[in-house]
Each structure stands twice: as structure tokens, then as C-alpha cells.
Amino acid sequence: MIITSLQNAKVKQWMRYHHRSEREKDQCFLVEGEHLVQEAYKAGLVLYTIQKIGSPLLFPDCMVYEVSDAILKKIRMCTSGSDIMALCKYKESSSSIGEKVIMLDDVQDPGNVGTIIRTALSFGYHSVILSDHSVDLYNEKLIRSTQGAFFHMNVLRMDITSMLLTLKQQQYHIYATSLQNAKPLSSISKMEKYVIIFGNEGKGIKDEILALSDTHVKIEMQTFESLNVAVAAGICMYYLQ
């Protein structure tokens, strides 16, 4: 199907998906760029593609909307200049979280969360769990910063306090990153089943979450006790894997 009018109902629908409330209502989101569309396609999430008129059809078995340059420019969420986008359905998360779990307590920056998801997949972690007040999972910057890892990692959003209580009963060891009463990362014993908790960029992990942890962990630093949360997460994940 070819669309050239900016006033077309489909174009207006795609524009609505720039807003979280509309994405959540329809359980759909847009991705852009050939690499991200390919990764979403591999994960079985693509409903149809949106492509520049005359561009190669990369997924012959997918429904395609061919659109003008003006429409692509209007519905893009970043300045990638890509000729392909896709409308995707929300992922289904698995309740089976595996033995190596990352938990994020109100982490807000989409780039940070996206980088953590990408790193977790690279280092063989099984799930990333976000608190209810963490960033929107379908934020365009978050998905872009995962480089497609989001489509292949088990990612959940939930009340992490109740989840931690459940995991403690299941004999998971709970590590929490903190600068207070914490052990150096290099001295930590590695467990088979564990959760690593990382906190909000400004406030860190809430006291009630820290109280549920078994071990407080800090990364040894020499001159400046402050690391970006995604950098800290990468260091901890690499060490504890």
C-alpha cells in the first residue's frame, strides 16, 4: 500500500505512538533503522514495515506501507535518516527469570537502561527487572541504545520489593550497590543464583530495598567516587558473571 498524504489516518496513528499513553493503550511501538527492524523481526514482533517508496523490500512476508520522504521525516523519532521503520507489538516477558538477574530501582535515563540491557545480554544474564517507577521500556532512546538487545532479553516491570522477598525465599543472593557499609567488589564471593540491584541516578537505591539485600557492594575507585550507573552495572556484571 502506498501513502503520500500527511493527513492520512495511518500517518496520524503512527504519530500517536510517539506518546507513551498511546503505546500502552494499543500495546504497539515504532522502531526505525534497518538493524533494529531486523532484530525486532527475528524476535517475531514486527506487525508491518513502513518504507520509503521504491526502497528494497527486506521482509517479503511482512505487510508493507510505502510512504513518501515527507511522511518518513514526520514520523521518525530521531534524525537517523533511515528509509525503513516498523510497527511492532509489545514483547511478552517470561516469569522464569533465570539465575543471574539485574534489578533497577527507579533508574530514569533511557540511555542508561538501554545500555544495561545490552550489557546484560552480552554477559549472559537472564533477566532485567525494572521497578514500577523506572523509565518507560518502549522509549525510543532506550530501544535504540540497546542496539536490538531489548528484543532478545527478558525484561520485566514490577514491584521490586515484593519480588525481592520472593527471590530471597528461593535462595537468591541479593547484591546491592552502595557506598555505605559496603564491601569492595573484588572481595565478593560469587554465587550461582543472584540479583544485582542498581539505583536511581541521583538518589541511589532506596533504604527499604537496601535493607532486603544480603551484601552491599562498592566498586573500588581512587580519586572520584562517582560512576554512571550503566558503567557501574557493566563492571559489576563482568566481575560477577
**CA-angle at 92, arms to 229 and 31, nearest 5°:** 65
Cα–Cα dist 21/200, whole Å: 23
Q: What domains appear along the chain, each with residue ranges and CATH number? A: 2-89 (3.30.1330.30), 100-240 (3.40.1280.10)
Confidence of residue 169 (pLDDT cuts 50, 70, 90): very high
Rounded Cα distance between 57 and 32, Å, is: 15
Confidence class for position 149, pLDDT limits 50, 70, 90 = very high
Nearest by Cα to 144 from 66, 82, 57, 67: 82
Q: What is the pLDDT of residues 54-101, one digit of tens each?
A: 888 888 889 999 999 999 999 988 766 788 999 999 999 888 999 999
Cα 145 to Cα 141: distance, rounded to the nearest angstrom:
6
Q: Is 28 left (phi over 0), alpha (psi -120 to 50) or beta?
A: beta
Q: Which residue has the higher pLDDT, 124 or 4?
A: 124
Query: Mean pLDDT throughout 109-128?
Result: 96
How far is CA 228 from its chain centroid?
17
Residue 125 has pLDDT above 80, yes or no: yes
Torsion of the alpha carbons at 155, 159, 161 and 163, rounded to the nearest 10:
-50
* Portion of the chain with pLDDT greater than 90, in percent: 78
Please report the pLDDT score of residue 79 as a whole number. 65
Q: Which amino acid is present at 58?
A: L
Distances (CA, A) of 171 to 165, 167, 191: 10, 6, 10
Q: Which of the four pLDDT bands, split at 50, 70 and 90, describes residue 181?
A: confident
Q: What is the pLDDT of residue 224?
A: 66
Task: Report whether pLDDT(41) > 80.
Answer: yes
User: Where residue 19 falls among pLDDT bands split at 50, 70, 90?
Assistant: very high
Weakest-pLDDT range from 31-45, 111-125, 212-226? 212-226
Are the C-beta atoms of residues 77 and 140 closer than 8 Å to each other? yes
Percentage of the chain exceeding pLDDT 70: 98
